[in-house]
Structure 1
Amino acid sequence: MLILLPPSEGKTAAVKGRPLDLASLAFPGLTDARSEVLAALAKTSAHHDAHAVLGVGNSLAAEVRRNTELRHVPAAPAHSIYSGVLYDALGYRSMTPTQKRKADSAVVVVSALWGAVGFTDAVPAYRLSMSVDLPGTGRLASFWRQRLRSVLDERAGDSLIVDCRSSTYATVWSGVPERTVAVNVFQQRKGVRTAVSHFAKQTRGELARHLLTRRGKPPATPEQLLRAASERWTCDLVPATSRKAAQLNVVLAHSA
């Protein structure tokens, strides 16, 4: 099983630790591309219009400045750098050692700066979105789409891919449709389903945790994933087509 997660917008910077070692990260075939984006981000972040280019407000000035020092600031495992609703719900810190090993093996985070990283890869906190048109590299979604295919195809192999990414990050790589399940979250009220945002992040994190902490073998097919998710939620499964992954729809009861 491969669980794909998006990065969090906000990140928890490491206060101590060794600096970034690009060569130590998973997917070494991405090292040159990572170095290219890292250099372009540092240059852009030092420019007077950095906030406009990166699409962030003045309140994030410290994070933009940190972008210029990413090769020198402390790095820490990705599972501790990425934070926010989804990662809080996943709750890596409260897992048992066995559950953490499962997470370390199964989870890959798709990133605008790193392309893709494993959960134990030591990275610094940074500020960069996949939607950015970065001077020197161009639109990052297009940049990474050209470079992620071979490495993630190899990583996925014959595994079931549980895709918990947001739409911006889902565009850069797609697994084989019959082995991929995209996770959607809805609320239902009076028979009408509506998509949700905040609760989608939380539910995807909870689903990832459930899959990593439940007893038994991990799901290997979309149907097995549906059964596993149905242990906790009301769900249905839209089968894959020749061009589109299966869709796991998690339906939350509306709280009146």
Structure 2
Amino acid sequence: MLVLLPPSETKRDGGDGPPLRLDALSFPELGGTRKELADELVELAADPAAARTALGLSPRQDDEIARNAALWSAPTMPALHRYTGVLYDALDVTTLRGAAAARARARLAVGSALFGLVRADDPIPAYRLSAGSALPAGGTLAARWRPALDPVLAGLAAEDLVVDLRSGSYAALGRVPGAVTVTVLAEKPDGSRGVVSHFNKAHKGALARVLAGSRAEPADAAGVAAIARRAGMRVERRGSALEVIVPG
């Protein structure tokens, strides 16, 4: 099983790994697009006003532009430790121990606007690029990533079950045939349901933690749902789509 996570806009600073080497990352077939985008971000950082426009930043976020300027020289850390925020707080991977931690490192991957797809231990620097960013070179990031990323994800899906927890904009960067998808719904006392927005990431992070550490090897959506239910989550299945039901 591969659990595909969205990235986060917030990232930890620093790291104790060497500067970025694209050949040290998983999925080397993505290297060409990775290098093009990294070089564009470094060049863009030389023009802060243009960088703010392209990346959707305010002048108070110029430190994010400085991160991009240092992409090739900044220290790295494992991808799963680089990303922060609500989902990653709920995932809380650093508290997994022993076999559960090893399974998490093998099962977790992150969809990235800059790197396409990285595994948990891939060493990456801090950066700023979102799936909806509009770089001066033109074309959406989805249009630039899909020719390279679609075949990689299709190959992974042919070998293993993929649980895709990415948001819509990141899922558009590359499609996963037959993936198990997850929606979080809030149920009100009257039984009506609506899509969760604010706490969506927290519930997906909690699900990712359960799946990452489980000894089970599910073969389909029913198996994924069974793991979640054993952990006390309320889950309903609609084919390959799962709905996590939480109090509204």
**Taking structure 1 as the reference length, what is the TM-score of the superposition?**
0.92
After alignment, is 23-32 or 155-164 more displaced?
A: 155-164
SS of the residue corresponding to residue 129 of structure 1 reads: coil
- Matches for 1:219-234 after TM superposition, within 5 Å: 219-231=218-230, 232-234=232-234
1:14 alignment partner in structure 2: 14
1:139 alignment partner in structure 2: 140
Alpha carbons 1:40, 1:137 under 8 Å: kept: no
Q: What's the CA shift for 1:137?
A: 5.3
Structure 2 residue ranges without an equivalent (≥5): none
- Matches for 1:142-181 after TM superposition, within 5 Å: 142-177=143-178, 180-181=179-180
| CA pair 137-96 structure 1, distance change in 2 beyond 3 A | farther
1:218 alignment partner in structure 2: 217
2-structure distance, mates of 1:121, 1:45: 24
Alpha carbons 2:142, 2:174 under 8 Å: kept: no
Percent of pairs identical after alignment? 37
Q: How many residues in Structure 1 have an aligned counterpart in Structure 2?
A: 245
Alpha carbons 1:37, 1:137 under 8 Å: kept: no
1:65 alignment partner in structure 2: 66
1-structure distance, mates of 2:93, 2:138: 33
| CA pair 45-138 structure 1, distance change in 2 beyond 3 A | farther
SS of the residue corresponding to residue 60 of structure 1 reads: helix
RMSD: 1.3
Q: What's the CA shift for 1:158?
A: 3.2
Alpha carbons 2:164, 2:180 under 8 Å: kept: yes
After alignment, is 50-59 or 18-27 more displaced?
A: 50-59
2:111 pairs with 1:110: yes
2:101 alignment partner in structure 1: 100
Alpha carbons 1:211, 1:218 under 8 Å: kept: no
After alignment, is 47-56 or 29-38 more displaced?
A: 47-56
SS of the residue corresponding to residue 132 of structure 2 reads: coil
1:55 alignment partner in structure 2: 56
1:74 alignment partner in structure 2: 75
2:246 alignment partner in structure 1: 252
Alpha carbons 2:19, 2:125 under 8 Å: kept: yes
